[in-house]
Amino acid sequence: MPKHQGWIASMLFAALCMQQAQADINGGGSTLPAKLYQTPGVLTAGFAPYLGMDRGRDKAAFLRNDYSLLSSLPSDRNVHWAASESKLKYSEVGDYFSAHHADWGPLIQVPSAATTIAIRFNKAGSAEVDLSTNDLCGIFSGRVNDWRQIKESGRTGPITVIYPNIASGSTELFTRFLNAKCVETGTFAVTTDFASSYSGGLPAGARSANSSEAIMEELYVLDGRITFIGPTYAAATLEGLSDATKVARVNGVSPTPANISDAIATVPVPAVAERRDQNLWVPVFTSQANIDANPGDKSLRPYPASGYPILGFTNMLFSQCYADATQTSQIRSFFYRHYGALVSNDAAIRDNRLARLPAAWKTAVRDAFLTPTSPLSIGNANVCNGIGRPL
């Protein structure tokens, strides 16, 4: 083959590869569910590998279609979906509506799985650690700073808090619990930034890390350290979450999926007439005071009276409309898989220490977003006529 023909062939091949990469269904976000979405078979055909990152940019990357917020590598790729434990705010939905709704279509926000936030620690000792809510509030406010202050822990020595120094949905779930339950000299704000949560400042000697993996590494630098983290990183196996010499119980309960299943089973699905409201698709556990102060928000739920108390949902963001018909079909296939009644991702969800959604919730998602006659159905021709998220 002449040189110029070989050059042309290589350029055509490179262009084809670039086109194929750009045609992938690109997504990423929170690291809490990253290992789930990186499990073979969870993401269906057409999906690019999930990009896990904890920088508080997951929602913004999707809402703005800005791939640079998911990856530091230069790319002109589009963002087709995202994952976060931090639900969409009304302001974010409003900004999207003004900027992109007319061209890209409506948003879809749905829970993917329920999750605990585990309390992982590194302190030598054979006694099982069982933290009360008061202990937990004290540790993360700085009031409790020595292991001897924790009843029957069988341990002594200083406590060092390790926390994420980047915005994360896990932090929002954790600070929401502290905000609802703690009675300290200061107050905890609900936020994705732990360093700014407690009005009295960080606990003395607290150290930070910039990812879930880095937090676990920092935890084991010295004895006596403790952190809050998603269950996938807190233990390598489901059984490991019940090892209270490494993962603390809270009020006598370990952070296993089984210990939140009863609580999430009581959460009602959105009423059919209200399913256009993205807010209602993500329940939020909060204080009774917050519920009373916001009587119009039907997504708010009181923390359960039993079971593991620190819980919430990891969520997914998609568009109802995609410009490419193949991508529309592939995303529908993923929804059929993830929310399936028979074939589903439930085993992978459990293996990654998360809790599957109740059957009623999966049925509601299928009815709303997959039934062809539903006005919310992904790719609905009446809604998506000539518009959609770019290829």
Write the pLDDT tens digit of every residue in 95-114. 999 999 999 999 999 999 99
Which residue ranges of the chain lie beneath pLDDT 70? Answer: 1-23
Q: Can you read off the two tokens belonging to residue 249?
A: 């119980």
Which pLDDT belongs to residue 56?
73
Which pLDDT belongs to residue 23?
60
Which pLDDT belongs to residue 6?
45
Which pLDDT belongs to residue 53?
85
SS (H, E, C) the chain: CCHHHHHHHHHHHHHHHHHHHHHCECEEECCCCHHHHCCCCCCCCCECCCEECCCCCHHHHHHHCCHHHCCCCCCCCCCCEEEECCCCCHHHHHHHHHHCHHHHCCEEEEEEEEEECEEEEECCCCCCCEECHHHHHHHHHCCCCEHHHCCCCCCCCECEEEEECCCCHHHHHHHHHHHHHCCCCCCECCCCCHHHCECCCCCCCCEEECCHHHHHHHHCCCCCEEEEECHHHHCCCCHHHHCCCCECEECCECCCCHHHHHHHHCCCCCCHHHCCCHHHHCCEEECHHHHHHCCCCCCEEECCCCCCCCEEEEEEEEECCECCHHHHHHHHHHHHHHCCCCCCCHHHHHHCCCECCCHHHHHHHHHHHCCCCCCCCCCCCCCCCCCCECC
Assign domain 118-254 to its CATH superfamily.
Answer: Periplasmic binding protein-like II (3.40.190.10)
Instruction: Give the alpha-carbon dihedral of 78, 83, 89, 93, to 10 degrees.
Output: 30
Query: Does 3-115+310-369 carry CATH code 3.40.190.10?
Result: yes
Which residues in the chain are classed under CATH 3.40.190.10? 3-115+310-369, 118-254
pTM equals: 0.92
